């Protein structure tokens, strides 16, 4: 019951932050539109339209950013103002707080994914298989991984100032090596190896496969499995590091 | 058995010994004050009792249970007002109270509780729309959602104007009259005198004295205080001629004389005149907790307004 109320309340907060809600959807949409209009096809050799290739990538990227950037900054702000401390004196458990944060933000991510998908399909004619199950699972699973990254950063950063290099330090490499804008084989071998160790790569691949060729179940299951492993690892790590008591 | 018992508590924090071997106990139903200047260790002491920090050594017990080991159980039975309270954004007072109640697995009639603290008309307002005094009253309300047995208040009226301060004092008294034990920290003398059944005077991590405010004052009630400002040299030996002067404190440029009889005031003025001392701000004060503090530490209490 506590978890349900925490979840509801956290989601209310997300919705009432009108600016955050709005920009969280408009910015990735804008990026997608801009890149889909540009003649990127001449730069990257693909046998599909770039807007089709890009859509799942942007979706994965959006999930990553919503997780790392927005949660890290939000949490750092709350911690520095003493909001978390106020919660600490209640019987609230760390795990309850974390899970409610994960669930409420994953719900927002679903909204982002739906919007971006509609945008891509109806305005750019991006291919979409119509499979709903896998994108849903990918959003939740992938979302959790990156939200936990965000919380982890918030555990180490006391201020925005300290959080900024950490979020960028993770976010930027993720984007460049994340299978978002271009396939991994466009990268030199060394970077490819690194990219294959990162979760975003598999989230993007999972979405791309689900959207374009969901019959490739082994690929999807592989991606889901890797994300699950990342998630369990991140959950254990964050739960032990996120400071609640001194 | 006291509702709170602390023995030889020690805590180092941020490189200093914030709490050095303090011992005190709080009885059920009283309003207990910990009085001292900033940096005395009051907040750290409270945070140990609230379960936010763990002690380095010594014992802290509440409801007969060891605080460090029974964190969860104790948290359910206490209410806490931190020095700076901030809340989750974008939620109304009603929603916040309901959230807090849910954390204790309880339901709360938020309208009733807000009415009790005088915020009945602000049920759907947001915290950032409240004035300082209203915010403090809301913080009190949020500390009461679980009907606690002990309420911890860390500087409940700091930064409030006198009217708001009185409102909060009255609320605290009303809360206490329901049988709730209150432990508060303050650096306001008047607050300790007005509210507290007993007060512990704390300075630099140590408790100097514990007693009822009235008794503490009576112990040195024989003394009043004369003070003045001067840049001239004032010798302690001059006061030997004025036997009513019991103690002399020199805090350049202020000189404070503790006297046991108001008759000596004219004598004091004569002495100053005889030595050609030019002074200003001559004032006479009868005993308060500030004098107790002065007596105990030899230092003047630097109160903040």
CB contacts of B95 in chain A (<8 Å) are 9, 12
Strands B198-203 and B31-35: parallel
CB contacts of B80 in chain A (<8 Å) are 89
* A16 interfaces chain B, CB cutoff of 8 Å: yes
Strand order in the sheet with B245-251: B245-251, B254-259, B224-229, B280-286
- Exposed, middle or buried: residue A176 (CB in 10 Å: 0-12, 13-18, 19+)? middle
Q: How far is Cα B33 from Cα A241, in angstroms, rounded to an integer?
A: 36
State the total domains in chain A.
1
CATH number of B222-286: 3.30.70.980
Tokens of B238: 């001059």
Choose the closest CB to B90 out of A6, A13, A89: A13
What average pLDDT does range B250-278 have in this prediction?
87
Q: How far is Cα B114 from Cα B116, in angstroms, rounded to an integer?
A: 5
Chain A interface mutation, best of B86, B87, B139, B141, highest count of A Cβ atoms under 10 Å: B86
Instruction: Report residue B304's pLDDT band, with 50, 70 and 90 as the boundaries.
Output: very low
What average pLDDT does range B254-270 have in this prediction?
85
Residue at A44 is within a domain: no
pLDDT in tens, B51-71: 999 999 999 999 999 999 998
Half-sphere CA count of B181, side-chain side, radius 13 A: 17
pLDDT in tens, A193-236: 999 999 999 999 999 999 998 888 899 999 999 999 999 999 99
Question: Percent of chain B beyond pLDDT 90?
Answer: 60
Across the A:B interface, residue pairs with CB atoms under 8 Å apart total 67
- Does residue B35 contact residue B202 with C-beta atoms inside 8 Å? yes
User: Are B89 and A90 in contact (CB < 8 Å)?
Assistant: no
User: Are B76 and A5 in contact (CB < 8 Å)?
Assistant: no
Length of chain A: 246
Chain A interface mutation, best of B82, B103, B138, highest count of A Cβ atoms under 10 Å: B103
pLDDT in tens, A64-95: 999 998 889 999 999 888 899 999 999 999 89
Alpha-carbon distance B305 to nearest alpha carbon in chain A (angstroms): 23
Residue A83, domain extent: 50-241
pTM of structure:
0.83
Q: How far is Cα B152 from Cα A167, in angstroms, rounded to an integer?
A: 38
What average pLDDT does range A107-114 have in this prediction?
96
Half-sphere CA count of B27, side-chain side, radius 13 A: 7
CB contacts of A12 in chain B (<8 Å) are 90-91, 95
Domain boundaries, chain B: 4-212, 222-286
pLDDT for residue A244 is more than 90: no
> What is the per-residue pLDDT for B291?
74
Q: What is the ipTM, given to two decimal places?
A: 0.87
Please provide the DSSP assignment of B178-202 as one string: TT-EEEEEES-HHHHHHH-SEEEEE
Residue at A9 is within a domain: no
CB-based burial, B60-95: b 16+ in 10 Å, e otherwise: bbbbeeebeeebeebbebbbbbbbebbbbbbbbbbb
pLDDT for residue B298 is more than 90: no
Q: How far is Cα A188 from Cα A202, in angstroms, rounded to an integer?
A: 18
The owner of tokens 């019951």 is A1
Instruction: Report residue A119's pLDDT band, with 50, 70 and 90 as the boundaries.
Output: very high
Distances (CA, A) of B115 to B81, B96, B121, B123, B138: 19, 15, 8, 9, 10
What average pLDDT does range B124-134 have in this prediction?
93
Summary mean pLDDT of chain A: 91
Distances (CA, A) of A66 to A101, A103, B5, B249: 12, 13, 48, 62
Alpha-carbon distance A71 to nearest alpha carbon in chain B (angstroms): 14
- Does residue A151 contact residue A238 with C-beta atoms inside 8 Å? yes
User: Are A6 and B99 in contact (CB < 8 Å)?
Assistant: yes
> What is the per-residue pLDDT for B220?
67
Q: Which CATH number fits domain B4-212: 3.30.390.30, 3.40.50.300, 3.30.420.10, 3.40.50.12780?
A: 3.40.50.300
- Exposed, middle or buried: residue A50 (CB in 10 Å: 0-12, 13-18, 19+)? buried
Number of other residues whose CB lies within 10 A of the CB of residue A202: 27
Chain B interface mutation, best of A2, A19, A86, highest count of B Cβ atoms under 10 Å: A86
Half-sphere CA count of B227, side-chain side, radius 13 A: 17
Tokens of B87: 């809340």
Half-sphere CA count of B215, side-chain side, radius 13 A: 9
Residues of A numbered 36-95 whose beta carbons fall under 8 angstroms of chain B's beta carbons: which are they? Answer: 78, 81-83, 85-92
User: Are A12 and B89 in contact (CB < 8 Å)?
Assistant: no
Q: Which residues pair with B22 in a beta bridge?
A: B9
CA B1 to chain centroid: 24
pLDDT in tens, B146-199: 999 999 999 999 989 999 999 999 999 999 999 999 999 998 888 998 999 999
CB contacts of B98 in chain A (<8 Å) are 5
pLDDT for residue B305 is more than 50: no
CB contacts of B89 in chain A (<8 Å) are 13, 17
């Amino acid at each position: 019951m506590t978890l349900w109320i925490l979840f509801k309340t956290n989601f209310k907060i997300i919705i009432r932050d009108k600016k955050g809600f709005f920009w969280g959807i408009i910015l990735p949409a804008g990026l997608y539109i801009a890149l889909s209009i540009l003649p990127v096809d001449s730069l990257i050799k693909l046998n599909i339209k770039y807007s089709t290739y890009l859509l799942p990538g942007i979706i994965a990227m959006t999930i990553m950013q919503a997780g790392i950037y927005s949660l890290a900054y939000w949490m750092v702000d709350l911690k520095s103002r003493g909001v978390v401390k106020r919660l600490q004196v209640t019987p609230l458990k760390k795990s309850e707080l974390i899970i409610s944060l994960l669930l409420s933000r994953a719900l927002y991510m679903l909204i982002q994914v739906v919007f971006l998908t509609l945008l891509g399909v109806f305005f750019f004619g991006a291919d979409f298989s119509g499979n709903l199950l896998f994108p849903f699972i990918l959003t939740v699973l992938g979302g959790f991984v990156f939200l936990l990254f965000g919380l982890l950063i918030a555990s180490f950063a006391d201020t925005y100032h300290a959080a900024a290099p950490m979020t960028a330090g993770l976010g930027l490499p993720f984007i460049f090596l994340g299978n978002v804008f271009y396939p991994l084989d466009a990268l030199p071998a060394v970077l490819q190896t690194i990219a294959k160790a990162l979760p975003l790569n598999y989230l993007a691949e999972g979405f791309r496969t689900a959207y374009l060729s969901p019959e490739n179940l082994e690929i999807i299951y592989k991606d889901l499995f890797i994300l699950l492993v990342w998630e369990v690892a991140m959950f254990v790590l964050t739960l032990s590091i996120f400071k609640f008591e001194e | 058995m006291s509702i709170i018992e602390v023995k030889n508590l020690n805590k180092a924090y941020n490189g200093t010994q914030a709490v050095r071997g303090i011992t005190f106990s709080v009885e059920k139903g009283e309003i207990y004050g910990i009085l001292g200047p900033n940096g005395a260790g009051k907040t750290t002491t409270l945070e140990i009792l609230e379960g936010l920090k763990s002690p380095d050594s010594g014992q802290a017990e509440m409801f007969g249970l060891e605080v460090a080991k029974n964190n969860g159980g104790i948290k359910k039975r206490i209410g806490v007002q931190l020095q700076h309270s901030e809340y989750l954004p974008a939620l109304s007072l009603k929603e916040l109270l309901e959230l807090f109640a849910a954390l204790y697995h309880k339901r709360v009639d938020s309208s009733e509780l807000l009415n009790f603290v005088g915020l009945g008309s602000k049920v759907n307002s947001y915290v950032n729309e409240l004035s300082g005094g209203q915010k403090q009253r809301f913080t009190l309300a949020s500390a009461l959602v679980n009907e606690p047995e002990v309420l911890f208040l860390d500087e409940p009226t700091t930064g409030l104007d006198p009217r708001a301060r009185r409102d909060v004092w009255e609320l605290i008294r009303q809360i206490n009259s329901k049988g709730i034990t209150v432990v508060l920290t303050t650096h306001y003398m008047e607050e300790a005198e007005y509210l507290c059944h007993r007060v512990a005077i704390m300075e630099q991590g140590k408790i100097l004295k514990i007693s009822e405010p009235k008794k503490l004052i009576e112990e040195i009630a024989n003394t009043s205080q004369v003070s003045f400002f001067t840049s001239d040299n004032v010798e302690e030996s001059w006061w030997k001629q004025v036997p009513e002067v019991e103690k002399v404190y020199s805090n350049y440029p202020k000189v404070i004389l503790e006297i046991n009889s108001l008759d000596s005031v004219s004598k004091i003025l004569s002495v100053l005149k005889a030595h050609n001392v030019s002074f200003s701000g001559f004032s006479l004060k009868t005993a308060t907790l500030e004098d107790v503090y002065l007596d105990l530490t030899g230092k003047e209490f630097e109160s903040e307004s």
